[in-house]
Chains A and B, each alone.
Chain A
Amino acid sequence: MTDSILLVAVVAVPLGAALVSLVCSLRFQIAIALLFQVVAFGLALTVIARVLQVGHIDAFAHWLYLDSLSSVVMLVVTIVSVLATFYSAGYLRHELHEKVIKSDELRKYFVLFHLFVFAMLLVTISGNLGLLWTAISATTLASAPLVDFYGSHEPLEAAWKYIVLTVAGSLLALLGLLLLYQSGVGPLGNSYDFSIPVLAGAAPHLSPTLAATAFLLILVGFGTKAGLAPMHTWLPDAHSQAPSPICAMLSGAELNCAMLGIFRVYTLTAAAAGAATLRTGMLVFGLLSMIVAVVFLISQRNFKRLLAYSSVEQMGLISVGVGLGNPLALIGALLLMVTHGFTKCLMFFATGNLLLRFRSTTIREIQGVVRAMPWTALLLVGGALAIAGAPPFGVFISEFSIIAGAFAGHLWVLGSLIAALLLLGFIPLVVPFHRMTFSNAETGGEVAQAELSTLTLLPAFILLGAVLVIGVWIPDPLDQLLHHAATVLTR
């Protein structure tokens, strides 16, 4: 019973934060955000620890359900959110100081921020598939106004593309869910509880045709949200136009939530529809995303868009990893969800600092970061290496085990293809950040050395540390969680 209440508390706290933010005066917005998000973070960690002990939490007649698979996503979401809160505090203070935004916009920002976190956490604990869909749609609705936060032409365009495409995608996903419901009518009767445990119980008896169709629709639908090509076109726009902390959450946390939706349905339909068919679907979309992303990575001039395309590539790789389906690749894919989330978040924090200082997202216009902002420069170079998949960072380990998984399954061509794509993506990811950091400022004279504040640096350093630690030695609880999650995916 306490577990159930804990689960509710995890989502209730951010929701409460949104309400409090709505009525509270502007002076306390940041303090409220920090307080509530830290509490939510603590609760989430407690819940995840409970899951490690008891396996899964199933509450309120299957309405809420948290197992190790969703715990992995919850872990990423909550860490990214709490760090983004701290970063937001520093970031927005600076923007207020520079008069980029007005102080009354703080309220709008934080109310939507809390709602966004609420929606993402709700995704991870949804047990009822209808609730899961609602929560995933809610992440779009809460974040679209945040993408449009600066209120000029480009953010508006990005927000509109984002909402139209992802809503269209979520409609297809809902059609998939309805077909999934219908596929269970045979074994479960005309009226049954549309929740994960109930369907999992009847999984082998679902109608195969309907289950396969349902999965494909959901793969396309939630795949739109997860940024899989060719439905990814909104992603570079939205992830480059939003305020930096929001970009970090969109890339680091929200994409994983959409992926969780795909994985959930995969676990439910695999038994009836044949896991091989479904995996082929994920492999195709995954590889396509990687190829498209690499092509666009090479021709990028804008560093935020560069990072966004890197997200497309990594999401593709995660999909490929699960598509491969053997334990090695599965663990790799799940670990990549964590490490990519952390690293991408870190990169958006670091580039956010650049943006605040240089007011530009064009790679050519920024030079000599190492002298202007030495700490940020360290983050940039370290983060770029990490996100591109250089050892000894966590992303490397994850990508390595996915490729190893491909080889272990004797898929030599596929494994080599993945490796080749990652190598192709390596240079366009690392070189621009290297150039911005170390090239000399030829015009405009010497830039004074000035970091912004501890608040904009510390969260990023925590993440860099975490990615480094995971790359060297995966902590036991995380290891355990990943293994359990992998068994959920192979069940």
Chain B
Amino acid sequence: MALAEAVLATLILIATFALLIARQVRGAINCYAAQSILLGGLAIAMFAGSRLPHLLVLGLLTIGIKGIVIPAVVRYQVRGSSYQRREIAYYVGFPTALILGAGLSLVGLVAASRLPFHPYLLSEPVLGLAIAVILLGLFTTMARRDAVLQLAGLLAAENGLLLVGLVVSPELGLLIEFALVLDVVIGVAVMGFLIARMHETVASTDTSELSRLRG
């Protein structure tokens, strides 16, 4: 495995940690954008090594859509409100989240090392990092009360899945990758729509405002 891939995969994990402990909506969106751009860079680095053309397409798409368009859309949706820079509401405090995040990453790394993998273009440690990214993303979704952060967590987990896809088989065909990109676009449209609705209905994206349905 080449230097660039290892470094980029590691930086993706670090960006996910940054998302986990991000305190502002804007910071969280930036973390997601950084993560996506790193992922796109990874795909392009793999293209440079393997000459599989669809990796290039995937890398450019990832950078374009997930790194630029989606963050821009989400930023637009939460624009103008003071809460962009306010500390977000959370269920799990930041130091606790950091420790639990470390535990989850550990789970991901150990799980990946236990699974019998046939390394292809990327090696096994990257698989561990990718599973850690998925778990951290899902954990972000659970640990934060703000809808935008929950969305960012899901999107980050989706990036982790794309990374798993790159490890498992870069030749899986465009299907899974297109499915992901498409799903993200539509998903962001739907969730963005709901976030916008939250803005007008409860004048905030703090989901603890939404707790009338019980039992």
**Residues on A facing B (Cβ under 8 Å):** 128, 130-131, 133-134, 137-138, 141, 144-145, 148, 151-154, 156-161, 163-164, 167-168, 171-172, 174-175, 177-179, 181-182, 185-186, 190-191, 194, 207, 209-210, 213, 236-237, 240-241, 296, 299-300, 305
Chain B residues proximal to chain A, CB less than 8 Å: 114-118, 120, 131, 134, 137-138, 141, 147, 150, 154, 157-158, 161, 164-165, 168-169, 171-173, 175-176, 179-180, 182-183, 186-187, 190-191, 193-194, 197-198, 201-202, 207, 210-213, 215
Is A163 a contact of B194 with CB atoms below 8 Å? yes
Q: How far is the CB of B173 from chain A (nearest CB, A)?
A: 8
- Could you tell me the distance in whole angstroms from the C-beta of B150 to the nearest C-beta in chain A? 6
For A131, list chain B residues within 8 Å (CB).
Answer: 175, 179
**Across the interface, which residues of A come within 8 angstroms of B117, CB to CB?**
182
Contacts of A305 in B (CB 8 A): 215
Is the CB–CB distance between A156 and B175 below 8 Å?
Answer: no
Q: Are B212 and A171 in contact (CB under 8 A)?
A: no
Q: Are B183 and A134 in contact (CB under 8 A)?
A: yes
Q: Which of A130, A133, A164 makes the CB contact (< 8 A) with B141?
A: A164
The CA of A168 and the CA of B157, in the complex, are separated in Å by: 8
Of B147, B161, B165, B171, the residue contacting A160 (CB under 8 A) is: B147
- Dominant secondary structure at the B interface: helix
Q: Can you list 6 A-B pairs with a CB-CB distance of less than 8 A? A: A131-B175, A156-B201, A163-B190, A171-B157, A179-B115, A181-B172
Q: Are A213 and B115 in contact (CB under 8 A)?
A: yes
- Least Cβ–Cβ distance between B188 and chain A, in angstroms: 10
**Chain B residues with CB under 8 A of A153:** 201-202, 210, 212
Given contacts A137-B183, A168-B154, A175-B161, contact A130 B176 (CB under 8 A): yes
Given contacts A153-B202, A296-B215, A299-B215, contact A174 B197 (CB under 8 A): no
Give CA–CA (A383, B139) in the complex, Å: 41
Instruction: Give the residues in chain B near A209, CB-CB below 8 Å.
Output: 114-116
Whether the pair B120, A190 counts as a contact (CB closer than 8 A) is yes
Nearest Cβ on chain A to B21's Cβ, whole angstroms: 20
Q: Give the Cβ gap from B207 to chain A, nearest Cβ, in Å.
A: 7
- If A194-B176, A213-B115 are given as contacts, then 17 extra A-B residue pairs at C-beta distance below 8 Å, sorted by A number, are A131-B175, A131-B179, A141-B186, A154-B213, A163-B190, A163-B194, A171-B138, A174-B161, A175-B131, A178-B165, A185-B118, A185-B169, A191-B172, A194-B173, A209-B116, A210-B115, A241-B213
Looking at the complex, which one of A168, A182, A213, A241 makes contact with B168 (CB distance below 8 Å)?
A: A182
Residue of A164, A167, A179, A207 most packed against chain B (CB within 10 A):
A167
Give every chain A residue within 8 A of B197 (Cβ-Cβ): 148, 151, 156
Q: Nearest chain-A residue to B114 (Cβ)?
A: A209
List B contacts of A133 (CB < 8 A). Answer: 179
CB distance from A470 to the nearest CB of B (A): 33
Chain A residue at minimal CB-CB distance from B213: A237
Chain A residues, Cβ within 8 Å of B182: 134
Chain B residues with CB under 8 A of A181? 168-169, 172
On chain A, the residues within 8 Å of B215 by CB distance are 236, 296, 299-300, 305
Give complex CA distance A153, B211 in Å. 10
Question: Would you call B175 and A141 a contact (CB within 8 A)?
Answer: no
Contacts of B158 in A (CB 8 A): 171
Please name all residues of chain A whose beta carbon is closer than 8 Å to the beta carbon of B137 when the two chains form the complex: 171
Output the nearest chain A residue to B150 by Cβ-Cβ distance: A164
**Contact of A157 with B212 in the complex, beta carbons under 8 Å:** yes
In the complex, what residue of chain A is closest to B195 when comparing beta carbons? A160
